[in-house]
Amino acid sequence: VLPMVDLFAPSIEEALYVLDPHKFKARKLESGNSDLVEILTPADHRELADAILGMGAKVAVLKSGSRGFYMKTDCAERFEEMGAARPGDPANWSQRELWAPAFATDAFCNAAGAGDSAIGGFLSAFLRGKTAEVWGKGPVHIYDARAAQIENPDDRLSGRNLNLSLLQVGDKFYF
């Protein structure tokens, strides 16, 4: 399937579980009560991204919770296969390896949907022709405004949602 996928963006845990279930189990035991993301190394991220690219994806983005995002890309020639969805400057995105930090906040309710929303921010920057540096300087995130409409921060099912998102690139916000 991955040869037909342009951009693959699982969580680091999902990627490890699918690509190396034995290592996933060992690392899960090693992490004990800690978050598995906290003990995975940059080498673990690189190894998984290399495996994803080796299976045919052109961009691998690994959502890594509080550590942010890790991205690794294939060569510019592979981006030509993407048609209209290719980056505005394929050479800029060619063979890149970047970390984008997680957005730090003082008012944390829960992380439900944070990784998927941030991938939305990445896709928006990617499709709007932004450079890898703009994304990598980060944090690049989409803020889902629905949290402001939920009375109980742990309530993800109340249905009181605003469908409003903002894209932040550095210190600038876009609707």
Give residue-wise pLDDT tens across range 28-71.
999 988 889 989 999 999 999 999 999 999 999 999 888 888 99
Q: Which two tokens stand for residue 100?
A: 């984008």
Give residue-wise pLDDT tens across range 63-100.
988 888 899 999 999 988 888 888 888 898 899 998 88
Helices (H), the chain: 12-19, 21-31, 36-39, 42-54, 76-79, 90-93, 114-127, 132-137
